[in-house]
Amino acid sequence: MRRADDPDYCVAVVGAGIMGQGIAQVAIMGGIRTLLYDAKEGAAERAREAVTKRLRRLVEKDRLKSSDVDDMLAGLEIVPKIDGLAPADTVIEAVFEDLDIKTEVLRSVEARTSEACIIASNTSSIPIAALARNSKKKDRIAGMHFFNPVPLMKLVEIVRGPETAPEIIEVLSVLARRLGRTPVTVKDAPGFLVNMGGRAYTTEGLRIAHEGVASPAEIDAIMRDCCHFPMGPFELMDLTGIDVNFPVTQIVYDGYMQDPRIKTSPLHRQLFDAGHFGRKTGQGHYRYDASGQMMDPPSPDFETEASPAARVSLAEDDPSLRTFCEKLKLTVSESATEGIPILAAPLGDDCTHIAIRTGADPKRLVGIDLTGDHARRVTLMTPPGSDPAILAAVAAAVRASGRKATVIKDSPGFVAQRVRAVIANLGCYMAEVGLAGPSDIDLALKLGLNYPLGPLEIAEDLGLRTTLLIMTRLQDITGDDRYRPSLWLKRRALLDLPIDVPA
């Protein structure tokens, strides 16, 4: 087996669609001799033209030299027949995401390459064990999952099948770096790492909307402004396409024996069945024009002309809440004087349970989420039967401070706490079952999904005990095992250990 950093190393790409084009492009940009094959007549030639145009545009933008592009393109060879793959040291399969089709391609590649050739599949969800099942040399089959668009997305998941030899993983990792990508080694499992870890963000957003706690626009705004995600979960689903993210969610859900922690909601299926796939169809969670711009997006902001509250009391003494009241120029009364708002900043609780536990008047109780960043937007919630005038007065005080207010219905953990804790908990579970190490889990989700923090970093940012508290209260209040805490999280929180302490 040859080293991937050898100057004359040869890579072959089978499949000249969008992913195959991207892989071929980064390969030649890495100075690697690259063979491109597609069974469909003319497809490889059209792919070469597309790659050429993209590289020439980089020249126009002064990102590459014309002479360098000429050298790169000289290293891209169109292979008219599959027999032409014989010189390859590694073959990367990038055909349609179908087990039977991929298995047949891998069988054909194996028959035409040397025993030293590595065969990697760009599958995003099909187990490597299933792809290698009928292979003669299962030890040389692995996954090499790139992300779309390949030239821009730096992450590559190197997927270790049950029988993949360790040296194969090492060669592919070196190859990925030579292609300018960042490799993360992942255990063979449904959805691998990123597609598994990404389920938490979208499915919890869907669950919150399904419960009527908040609208998609409100949830998206909270996750952008308070948690620094570049897109809210509903914007993200509309961008990737419901036709993509719903089937992937179901594959991962079924692959994990229908674990409720990754279960989606009826709205997701409803949009899929209706063909409302998001930007590509003009309708998803939002409406879009022909250029993909959102049309008439609903406002996530609570508007009121009420006079701002001047005095409030606290349901229970909370230094952080007192400090926040000072920022809003609210005078805190030491007694729950009749008629003034009663504020609380629950962790994992809803206002209903705060009222029961503290004896606070539920009609005047307003919950404020103080986790995350509340410099731009503040989330408020009230229990059923609360006085709208009390809520409006508190919201007016928030608005008077230059912040936006989003008002949601009673929910354990508000929105941001729920979503972040669920992401963190699923990340801890992935570490628990050995999908990858904690640092690689964080790296993969930041590179693959543009998360501001990785799942385990979110757990540390919230605090392990706080994350555990939120998950425990969510499970207790809802009775739903969707929120059962990972043992990885629970043990480290209870023992006051760092999240990356090994088992």
Residue range 289-331, pLDDT digits in tens: 999 999 999 999 999 999 999 999 999 999 999 999 999 999 9
Identify the active-site residue in 110, 145, 245, 411. 145
Residue 281 within any structural domain of the chain = yes
Residue 446 within any structural domain of the chain = no
Residue 306 within any structural domain of the chain = no
Same domain, 320 and 403: yes
Same domain, 18 and 138: yes
The model's confidence at residue 428, banded by pLDDT at 50, 70 and 90, is very high
If one counts every other C-beta atom within 10 angstroms of the C-beta of residue 328, the result is: 19
Same domain, 245 and 330: no
Residues 426-448 have a mean pLDDT of 97
Identify the active-site residue in 124, 173, 313, 411. 124
Active site residue 60: no
pTM for this one?
0.95
The model's confidence at residue 502, banded by pLDDT at 50, 70 and 90, is confident
Same domain, 275 and 315: no
Phi, psi of 50 (to 5 degrees): -65, -40
CATH code, 279: 1.10.1040.50
Same domain, 39 and 180: yes
Average pLDDT, the chain: 96
Residue 114 within any structural domain of the chain = yes
Residue 82 is classified by DSSP as G
Q: Which of 148, 164, 188 is the last residue of a domain?
A: 188
Same domain, 66 and 100: yes
pLDDT at 102 over 80: yes
Same domain, 282 and 315: no
Active site residue 145: yes
Tally the domains of the chain: 3
Instruction: Provide the domain limits for residue 380.
Output: 311-409
Same domain, 20 and 153: yes
List, for residues 40-59, the tens digit of each pLDDT value: 999 999 999 999 999 999 99
Same domain, 281 and 315: no
Same domain, 137 and 201: no
Active site residue 486: no
pLDDT at 338 over 90: no
Convert 198-215 to b/e letters by CB count within 10 Å (16 or more is b). bbbbbbbbbbbbeeebbb
List, for residues 137-182, the tens digit of each pLDDT value: 999 999 999 999 999 999 999 999 999 999 999 999 999 999 999 9
Residue 427 within any structural domain of the chain = no
419 with 199: CB under 8 angstroms? no
Q: What DSSP assignment string belongs to 227-295?
A: T--SS-HHHHHHHH-HHHHHHHHHHHHHHTTT-GGG---HHHHHHHHHT--BGGGTBSSSEE-TTS-EE
Predicted confidence at residue 503, as pLDDT, reads 77
Residues 72-100 have a mean pLDDT of 96
Identify the active-site residue in 77, 93, 157, 204. 157
Predicted confidence at residue 500, as pLDDT, reads 87
Of 93, 197, 96, 142, the residue nearest 423 (C-alpha):
197
Residue 463 within any structural domain of the chain = no
Predicted confidence at residue 43, as pLDDT, reads 97
Q: Which of 294, 324, 350 is the last residue of a domain?
A: 294
The model's confidence at residue 336, banded by pLDDT at 50, 70 and 90, is confident
The model's confidence at residue 459, banded by pLDDT at 50, 70 and 90, is very high
Same domain, 336 and 282: no
Predicted confidence at residue 337, as pLDDT, reads 81
Place of tokens 């169809």: 281
In the chain, % helix, strand, coil (3-state, to 5) comes to 45, 15, 40
Q: Which of 349, 375, 409 is the last residue of a domain?
A: 409
Residue 420 within any structural domain of the chain = no
List, for residues 13-30, the tens digit of each pLDDT value: 999 999 999 999 999 999
pLDDT at 274 over 80: yes
Predicted confidence at residue 362, as pLDDT, reads 97
Active site residue 374: no
List, for residues 364-417, the tens digit of each pLDDT value: 999 999 999 999 999 999 999 999 999 999 999 999 999 999 999 999 999 999
Identify the active-site residue in 195, 386, 425, 486. 195
Residue 110 within any structural domain of the chain = yes
